[in-house]
Amino acid sequence: MENRERFTDRVETYVKYRPSYPAAAIDYLYGEVGLRRDSQVADIGAGTGIFSRLLLERGTPVTAVEPNRAMREEAERALAGYPGFKAVNGAAEQTGLPDASADFIVSAQAFHWFDQAAAKREFHRLLRPAGKAALIWNTRLTSGTPFLEAYEALLLRLGTDYATVNHRNITQEQLAAFFEPGTKREARFPNRQLFDFDGLSGRLRSSSYTPVPGHPNYEPMMRDLRDIFDRYQQDGYVSFDYETEIYTGSV
């Protein structure tokens, strides 16, 4: 499946079960990194607009660039009430936006899908002098609790192509190469979701590497997920823990 179509049938679960980003992370962008209320921001690979919303709530105009029609239309529906929002059909490698039209580019939970060399050229074209890019991920912790470790093992065992598309495959060397030498900065913030079993199931099904009904791994995966939940839940919930990573710099 082409990468830009991987989430077409998962929009509903994506909207309902994917995490947002912690306020401390947004404060960091507006404080230390220099994002302003009047900055022109391009959100590349904006998906359903989860990150765009956080900037719009602070009064910053956002142009969301998203190639997947179903996700883009959901962002348009959800964010229509913000006067500073617009969405365009485009990709990281060819956004269709004018030269030097962005003070900031943000890309949340998306950079690992990009052609990095082509995206770097496009980001450089879009950014104004002194402009910056921010690459953001909610990185799920894979160790530290028995639940987190069992969930990771489940994905490795029954996910369709989890090991291949995992954004942890992006190396520090690749990140350093994307930014101009000496400009890359990074910060990390804790984040988490609490799920009952329905929420945990929805969160799993929102991932592109989760088999769909009819796939031979689907029923075994759902059965094993139930077993994991029952084993590790406390008062009917499990803690889905993340580290929100932010990498910023000139491009």
Condensed to tens digits (0 to 9), the pLDDT of residues 119-150 reads: 999 999 999 999 999 999 999 999 999 999 99
Per the structure, the count of domains in the chain is 1
Residue 158 within a domain: no
The DSSP letter of residue 112 is G
Please name the residues in contact with 135: beta carbons below 8 A apart, sequence gap of 6 or more: 107, 111, 175, 178, 246, 247, 248
pLDDT at residue 113 tops 90: no
Mean pLDDT across 176-193: 97
Mean pLDDT across 54-76: 96
- Name the average pLDDT for the chain: 93
Of 13-17, 36-40, 104-108, where does mean pLDDT reach its minimum?
13-17
Q: Which residues pair with 94 in a beta bridge?
A: 91
Q: Do 42 and 105 form a contact (C-beta atoms < 8 A)?
A: yes
pLDDT at 161: 80
Domain of 7? 3-141+165-192+243-249
Mean pLDDT across 190-203: 97
Structure confidence by residue, pLDDT tens digits, 218-248: 999 999 999 999 999 999 999 999 999 999 9
Banded model confidence at residue 1, pLDDT cuts 50, 70, 90: very low
pLDDT at 2: 47
Mean pLDDT across 7-20: 81
Mean pLDDT across 185-196: 98
Q: What does the alpha-carbon distance between residue 112 and residue 91 come to, in Å, rounded to a whole number?
A: 13
Banded model confidence at residue 9, pLDDT cuts 50, 70, 90: low
Unique residue bearing structure tokens 């913000």: 82
pLDDT at 162: 82
Banded model confidence at residue 14, pLDDT cuts 50, 70, 90: confident
Residue 205 within a domain: no
Residue 41 within a domain: yes
Q: What does the alpha-carbon distance between residue 135 and residue 7 come to, in Å, rounded to a whole number?
A: 20
Mean pLDDT across 147-167: 88
Q: What does the alpha-carbon distance between residue 114 and residue 90 come to, in Å, rounded to a whole number?
A: 12
Residue 19 within a domain: yes
Residue 80 within a domain: yes
User: Which one is predicted more confidently, 5 or 181?
Assistant: 181
Q: What are phi and psi of 159, to 5 degrees?
A: -65, 155
Tokens of 119: 């995206």
Residue 71 within a domain: yes
Q: What does the alpha-carbon distance between residue 191 and residue 87 come to, in Å, rounded to a whole number?
A: 27
pLDDT at residue 18 tops 60: yes
Q: What does the alpha-carbon distance between residue 138 and residue 214 come to, in Å, rounded to a whole number?
A: 29
The DSSP letter of residue 36 is -
Q: What percent of the chain has pLDDT over 70?
A: 95
Q: Which residues pair with 108 in a beta bridge?
A: 136
Mean pLDDT across 175-189: 96
Q: Do 98 and 124 form a contact (C-beta atoms < 8 A)?
A: no
Q: What does the alpha-carbon distance between residue 238 and residue 80 come to, in Å, rounded to a whole number?
A: 34
Q: Do 145 and 241 form a contact (C-beta atoms < 8 A)?
A: yes
Classify strands 238-249 and 127-140 as parallel, antiparallel or unpaired.
antiparallel
Query: Domain of 66: which CATH number?
Result: 3.40.50.150
Q: What does the alpha-carbon distance between residue 250 and residue 136 come to, in Å, rounded to a whole number?
A: 15
Mean pLDDT across 16-45: 97
Q: What percent of the chain has pLDDT over 90?
A: 85
Cα 27 from chain centroid (whole Å)? 18
pLDDT at 170: 85
Q: Is residue 140 classed as helix, strand or coil in its secondary structure?
A: strand
